[in-house]
Structure 1
Amino acid sequence: MAEANETKSETTQNDQKKPLEPLPATASKDYVWKGPDGASINYTATAEMIPVRADDGTMIGHMFMFSQISDADDKSDRPVTFLWNGGPGGASYMVNIGGMGAKRVKTDGMAHLTGVGEVEDNPYSLLPSSDLVFIDAFGTGYSHVDPNYDAKKVWGVDGDADAFTRGIIAWLTKYGRMNSPHYLYGESYGTMRNAVVYRMLGEHGVGVAGVTEQSTILDYEPTLSGEDDYYMGMFPVYAATANYFKKAGVGVDQYEWYDKAFDYANNTLARALTLADALPADEMKKIAGEMSEFIGLPADFILAKGLRIELDTFRKNLLKDEGETTGRYDTRFTTYGYQDVQGDNEFFAGEDPSYDAINAAYLDVYMKMLGDMGFKGYENYEGLSLKVNSSWNWTHQAPGTMGSPQVPNVAYDLATALRRNPTSRICVLGGIHDAATPYWNVRHDINKLFLPQALKDRIEYHLHSNGHMLYCDDVALAAAGPELKAFYDKRHEDQAAQ
């Protein structure tokens, strides 16, 4: 894939770069989705490059969009959902071929998949509830910024959301779906994108019926070193992981153990972290012992860390005696521990068996599916662009706030959009083994908005056994399927109430 800084095009006499030529041609193919209960849906899958322009007509670039659209003649009440992954710098193939698209790669618990993935009609797909449009962010997948446009304008919180807003409107206009119920589905950083796009679409006069936040991060403050909310959010994840590996809470139901740790974080750990070394020594020792019972690490070890256990510290030490380390996206996945010679912390932080276990199979199957449709993209599909990630502009001034903080908080965007559109709904999906975007934090972030009860009632929360990627866990997907169907069906209740 050629990006703004890397295109091989020659420059013209006025120093303008020629556009990427040729654009991959649109490809479509008809399929039949068959559900586990015998239901079937005829649909058309389309892979295409959608042009995205600025207000003055300047070409920003082309977004790669992969749609799966029901062939039903009457689409008057047929929703259309726009879906994406996060990163920032991640393309949308995982949320497509992994869990929400019409086809998926079959998973095998915590096992590492081979590069040749097995494909099935996805029994958990959103297709029965909605048409689907998967969008790759600029600089990822096949989406590219025009060579004559500054990519830095779209590689940031606000520029990215603006580009997605424009891309969605372009797709809706092209296919005459402005009057359809519109939904957003984002994972990880995609939930942050969701919040801002939700607001921006409303400011462009495009209504949003519902927003699904899977593995949510709204406020990046816990990513700063030493922030108490980081340790608060991680604690229930550590407990769930220790329970899974029988290092703590043996014999106790996983959700019961998680909930106990969640309550302990709120009611006991919060005070201890706030007081820090002002906490009396005997009380600190007592809490270290209680934490040990929850998360399976020695009390003296926890005490020596001042009750503050970093994720990498936990991952390295929980299964140290077994010579293994745990995952980050999903802490149930394991790999063999590294020797001290490879002990660089930055390197270790980026190593994740829960990502390694699925990525090759997902991407290989996705490329094969596009090839079977006849879509010929660029020579490289950028599944995860570190260039985009490292170039990201995190500046964001939330509505109603003063100035731009060092790290963004888009919970205010989410609340502003909901206040402006109180008939819309929000669905939050979390996983007890997600150490990338801990569920405790999104509950905390939304609680801090002090929304009136009428708006709180428009937000629903669902917690499952999965890690960061809901689609890697068949048990979680099976449980979330009916919840998502009910979420989409609630628009009928809202229509009847009007």
Structure 2
Amino acid sequence: MSTHPGHKGAPRLYLRRLLICAATCLSLPVIPALAIDKPHSSETKSADTDITKPKFTGRAALLPDDSVTHQTLTTGSKQLGYTAHAGTLTLRDDKGEPTARMFYVAYTLDGTHPERRPVSFFFNGGPGGGSAYLNLGAAGPVALTFPTGNPTDGANAKLGPNPDTWLAATDMVFIDAVGTGYSVPVKPETADKMFYGTKSDARAFAKAIDLWIGANDRHASPHYLVGESYGGVRSVEVATALQQQQNLILNGIIMVSPALEMKFLDPVSNPLAAAMLLPSFEASRLDLEHKLTPAAIDESYHYAFGSYLTTLAGAPPAGDDAHDFYGDVAHRTGLDPVIVARERGMPDPQAHDVRSRNGRLFSLYDGTLSIADPFPEGIDNGDSPEPVLFGFGRAYGNAFEGYATQTLRFRTELTYDLLDLKVNSAWDYRGDGELIAGETPQLRKLLALNPTFRVFIANGYFDLVCPFASSRWVAEHVPVGRDRISLHVYPGGHMLYTRPASRAALARDVRAFLTP
């Protein structure tokens, strides 16, 4: 799990836990008529207003002109009329030559005053993930819902109107990172150097956001970023790039299941990371036993950063002390004491012998969610299939293709790249002089430089990828602006919005955050 000193990447396979589902290969769904009213009218126009519009070649030429449709979302007795704009933004180098076409979907509420209307810019993580997850999973006007009582059944997931859309509180712009979704580099052979890195990625997003704001006259609007998973790192980096390179000072950031410090995601070699992970293990066990309470979680958190961390940081216990310590950890996590002892009290949630219990294989993304273990006899620890990564989560890619074609009227021969593993493997995680960029110092600066800057962090109790305790620990160690960081934890995993009740609770809390 360690990072090789000479390698530009982050800890080996553990970072793959941030990857939320690869591109889908399921059949194209038919979007139900009740998902959204038929468009009032539709039109197409180009997002590139330059009279010298470039002539693209290769995959970049397969993206059509922008499509603008006027929609109405009906949920219960409420109706929201809005405009959906699916299109691309052209990035250029210092010579003015095109370098990438970044795909976006913008939803703007009709009949509002733009200067007072918040606008939020969304991106997912990976790195290498497209924005369809947050769009169709949490905030957009249309949502993908999985069958009640069978949450791992991606084949029967359905698109329909999203009663928990954030549209009532903010206009929304969902942007795919270069190399993901429908965003493509003009020169693929140089894309890794130009876009696939912590700093270069932030510059690209900052410029794309600046271009959209300029094209839509939204300079006076309140501006927010929304990032999921690695999008937590990206949101801090983009906020800094916007302020320093585009002269745009944000009103705030919303993070969903964020990675805030990449070095906190490897519990095998970092006792502090193991302490951050333990409360998620315990929350999962408590929920499966119907014993989950805020008081129990708070006790687990204090134990993790108290005697548990102290024991891990010292010499390994022996004799009766080892028996008692490993037994306590086994009870809290619900794991076999033999396995806990073998892993010296720091269970790796990726390991097959940790995930496989009683013939069931539990997910990294939700410690309460499991499928039948295809290898109950045992397998190399890193080779077990992930129920979210390789299962139902793939439905988001296929669903978005159908939605883009049938509702947004954006037709292309390109496949929507929900998750590009090549982008992920090529990623440069370095910061300014750091092997892995650290976000806490930059977050401190953002809070100090802007006295009204606010941060909203949402986590799932059962997330073993980006545990909720990591967000709490980071927030507790911010010396300036701690009162402007709000923490919210919901029943659910990494993609907490796949649970309808948690999606609704998240939407309510976000609306309150956006309308202080």
TM range (shorter): 0.7 to 0.9
Matched position secondary structure for 1:461: strand
Name the structure 2 match of 1:464: 490
Aligned mate of 1:307, from 345, 349, 352: 345
Q: Is residue 2:454 matched to residue 1:413?
A: no
CA distance in 2 between partners of 1:76 and 1:91 (Å): 29
> Judging changes above 3 Å, is the alpha-carbon distance between structure 1 residues 178 and 149 closer, same or farther for their aligned structure 2 residues?
farther
- 2:173 pairs with 133, 148, 151, which one? 133
Residues 342 and 390 from structure 1, CA distance in 2 versus in 1: closer, same or farther, beyond 3 angstroms?
Answer: farther
* Cα deviation 1:61-93 (Å, max 9, x = unaligned): 110001111111422211111001100000001
Q: Report if aligned partners of 1:319, 1:326 keep a CA contact under 8 Å in 2.
A: yes
How far apart in 1 are the matches of 2:494 and 2:232? 12
Letter of the 2:468 partner, please give it.
Answer: Y
Structure 1 partner of 2:137: 98
CA deviation digits over 1:372-429, x for unaligned, max 9?
13211233111100010000011112xxxxx32x222112222212221121110010
Equivalent residue, structure 1, for 2:182: 142
Residue pair 2:326, 2:340 contacting (<8 A) in 1 also: yes
1:6-405 matches, cutoff 5 A: 18=57, 20-36=60-76, 38-107=77-146, 108=148, 110-147=150-187, 150-152=190-192, 153-203=194-244, 204-224=246-266, 225-246=268-289, 252-277=291-316, 279=317, 281-313=319-351, 316-317=353-354, 320-321=357-358, 323-339=359-375, 343-348=379-384, 351-372=385-406, 373-397=408-432, 403-404=433-434
1: CA distance between counterparts of 2:201 and 2:264? 22
Deviation at 1:293, TM superposition (A): 2.0
Q: Tell me the secondary structure at the aligned position of residue 267 of structure 1.
A: helix
Q: Residues 485 and 476 of structure 1: is their aligned pair in 2 closer, same or farther, counting only changes over 3 Å?
A: same
Structure 1 residue 365: Cα displacement: 2.2
**Match for residue 425 of structure 1 among 450, 454, 457:** 454
CA distance in 1, matches of 2:96, 2:86: 24
- Matched to 1:333, the amino acid is L
Q: 1:243-270, CA deviations, whole angstroms, 9 ceiling, x for partnerless residues?
A: 2333xxxx52344433322121011101
CA positional deviation for 1:233: 1.7
Q: Does 1:437 align with 2:466?
A: yes
Work out whether residues 432 and 467 of structure 1, in 8 Å CA contact, stay in contact via their aligned partners in 2.
Answer: yes
Asked whether the 8 Å contact 1:91–1:140 carries over to 2, the reply is yes
Could you tell me which amino acid in structure 2 is paired with residue 239 of structure 1? E
Q: For 2:505, which of 479, 490, 496 is the aligned residue?
A: 479
Q: 1:357–1:255: structure 2 CA closer, same or farther, 3 Å change rule?
A: farther
Could you tell me which runs of 5 or more consecutive residues in structure 2 were left unpaired when the two chains were aligned.
1-55
Write the distance in 2 (CA, Å) between the matches of 1:236 and 1:148.
42
TM-score (norm: length of structure 1): 0.86
In the TM superposition, what is the alpha-carbon distance from 1:98 to its structure 2 partner?
1.0
**Amino acid aligned to 2:387:** P
CA contact (8 A) 1:183 1:208 kept: yes
Aligned residue number for residue 8 of structure 1: none
Shift of 1:330: 1.5
Give the distance between the partners of 1:77 and 1:362, measured in 2 at CA. 32
Cα gap change, 1:359/1:317 in structure 2, threshold over 3 Å: closer, same or farther? Answer: closer
The percentage of aligned residue pairs carrying the same residue is: 26
| Residues matched between the structures, number | 456
1:160-185 deviation per Cα after TM superposition (whole angstroms, max 9, x unaligned): 01100000001111111111110100
SS at match of 1:21: helix
Q: Displacement of 1:99 after TM fit?
A: 1.1
Give, in whole Å, the separation in 2 of the partners of 1:326 and 1:298. 14
Q: Secondary structure at the match of 2:253?
A: strand
> What is the Cα deviation at residue 226 of structure 1?
1.1
Cα shift at 1:117: 3.1
Q: Contact (CA 8 Å) 1:110, 1:332: kept in 2 or not?
A: no
Shift of 1:360: 3.9
Mean alpha-carbon deviation: is it higher for 172-181 or for 102-111? Answer: 102-111
In structure 2, distance between residues paired with 1:263 and 1:148: 48
Please tell me whether the aligned partners of residues 102 and 125 of structure 1 are also in contact (alpha carbons under 8 angstroms): yes
How far the C-alpha of 1:357 sits from its partner, in A, is 4.6
Q: RMSD in angstroms over aligned alpha carbons? A: 2.2
Instruction: Report the 3-state secondary structure (helix = DSSP H, G, I; strand = E; otherwise coil) of the residue aligned with 1:479.
Output: helix
Higher mean displacement: 49-58 or 214-223: 49-58
Could you say what secondary structure the match of 2:304 adopts? Answer: helix
Q: Which range moves more in the overlay, 475-484 or 147-156?
A: 147-156
Deviation at 1:105, TM superposition (A): 1.2
Structure 1 segments of 4+ aligned residues over 6 angstroms from their partners: none
Counterpart contact for 2:350–2:382, Cα < 8 Å: no
> TM-score, normalised on structure 2?
0.83
Query: Could you tell me which amino acid in structure 1 is paired with residue 197 of structure 2?
Result: G
For 1:146 and 1:253, locate their aligned partners in 2 and report how far apart those are by CA, in whole Å. 50
Q: Report if the CA contact (8 A) 2:129-2:420 is conserved.
A: yes
Alpha-carbon deviation of 1:433? Answer: 0.6
